Structure 1
Amino acid sequence: MAALARELAHKQEAEARWQQHADAFARHADDASRDRAMLLAWVTALHPATAVIAPAAEPYGGGSHVVVLTAGGWHTGWPVAPLYLPLFPHVERVEPSDPRAQWDSPTTAQTYARIQEHIRLLVLEDEPSQGARGA
């Protein structure tokens, strides 16, 4: 019986350690989500003429919205959890059927490539290593 009690105690300690790891991961994920929402709110404030927000369709749903920006002639969007909607009072609300709420970047990789291209055009970057100021 003592061996079973020790084994149970050992398993409970291991479970507690794993729960601490899971809790830390959840805190980091929450921090990253908040940072992402803050940065997106900032970008939409810098580009008010092309930013809209609409209720999200599946798979996001659940009160989530999608922020869509137009840059370089293409639309790209990011889901925004209901918790972060108060960060976007400056963004025009539209219906999901509004053409401005339709993004045309079906993959994350394509979105990132388009953003990189837009950055390159904005800073008139000749060589990737020079950056915006030629440093």
Structure 2
Amino acid sequence: MPETCWNGEPCTARPITAIVTDTGAFPGYWARHLVGTRRAVVEITYGEQTFYIDNADGSGWHKVTRGGSPHWAHSSITIDPATIQPADPYLTSTEVVSAATHNATLQQLRQTEAERDGAYRERARLVALAVGGLAEQVVVAPAPDIAEPGWQIIYATLHGRQCSWHIAPRDAGLFSHFDHVPVDDPRAQWDGHTTEEKYEHLDHIARALGTPGPFRKA
């Protein structure tokens, strides 16, 4: 088994398959449609924490065997530990990726990851700009719904309503100048707003800012 790392530091990782479960905490959980199905996953033990990342296309194993840097995108996933079964590192959810096609797959993954990383970095910059210039209150706290270390959530009160975004570890530096609080801080509690409601509210603010005259609450 090759050496495995997370954030450039040694970790214990193994390829497995397991049944996907719901987080029960995050309304936008990307794998909710996969709950109850068996999925190729990488189990990672880093420090005292054990968490899981998706490996359906081999990208999870590629990440931990290439230093585990935030440069390599990944998708955190929750599973039922009782359903864990050992797996080949390149076992996808439907097939084993052959050696002949593996390099081509990795090249495509690198391109996709670079495009996705660029989009998320741009999003993070815009969030930092918007909340820094418009919010009445801003705090940053650890993300309680993601087991992977380093993830945070920024909670901003914009025009009287809460808006929040997850912050990837690689983008944390963009938000270092905001107040950082513990996860149980009253200002860092999600009020139940959905992604759709959040962006409808931002659309309202954008239209109001683009209209001559004083900014009025709806």
Query: How many percent of aligned residue pairs carry the same amino acid?
Result: 30
The aligned amino acid for 2:209 is: L
1:35-76 CA-partner distances (Å, limit 9, x unpaired): 122222222331464211111111365221111111121101
Gapped regions of structure 2 (runs ≥ 5): 1-98, 213-218
Segments of structure 1 that go 5 or more residues without pairing to the other structure are: 1-10, 126-135
Asked whether the 8 Å contact 2:141–2:153 carries over to 1, the reply is yes
C-alpha distance in 1 between matches for 2:135 and 2:158: 12
Instruction: Give the letter aligned to residue 92 of structure 1.
Output: D
1:120 is matched with 207
Contact conserved, 2:139 with 2:179, CA < 8 A, in 1? Answer: yes
* Offset of residue 97 of structure 1: 2.4
Bigger relative contact order (CA 8 A; separation at least 6): 1
Partner Cα distance (2:168, 2:145) in 1 = 13
Deviations 1:69-104 (A, max 9, x none): 111211011011122222222211122222322233
1:110–1:60 CA distance, 2 compared to 1 (3 A): farther
Q: Greater shift after overlay, 14-23 or 64-73? A: 14-23
Aligned equivalents of 1:99, 1:30: Cα separation in 2? 31
- Give the letter aligned to residue 102 of structure 1: Q
Q: Of the two, which has the highest radius of gyration?
A: 1
* Cα RMSD for the two superposed structures: 2.5
Which residue in the other structure is 2:125 paired with? 38
CA, structure 1 residues 78+117, in 2 after alignment: closer, same or farther (shift >3 Å)? same
* Structure with the higher fraction of residues in strand conformation: 2
Could you tell me which amino acid in structure 2 is paired with residue 104 of structure 1?
Answer: D
1:88 matched residue in structure 2 = 175
**TM superposition score normalised by structure 2:** 0.46
Kept after mapping to 2: 8 A contact 1:52/1:68: yes
Which amino acid is the alignment partner of residue 152 of structure 2? H
Structure that is richer in helix per residue: 1
Q: Which residue of 2 aligns with 1:108?
A: 195
Take 2:106 and 2:177, find their aligned partners in 1: how far apart are those partners? Answer: 39
Moved over 6 A (4+): none
Counterpart Cα distance in 1 of 2:133 and 2:102: 46
Any conservation in 1 of the 2:153–2:164 contact (CA below 8 Å)?
A: yes
Distance change in 2, residues 1:41/1:61 (3 Å): same
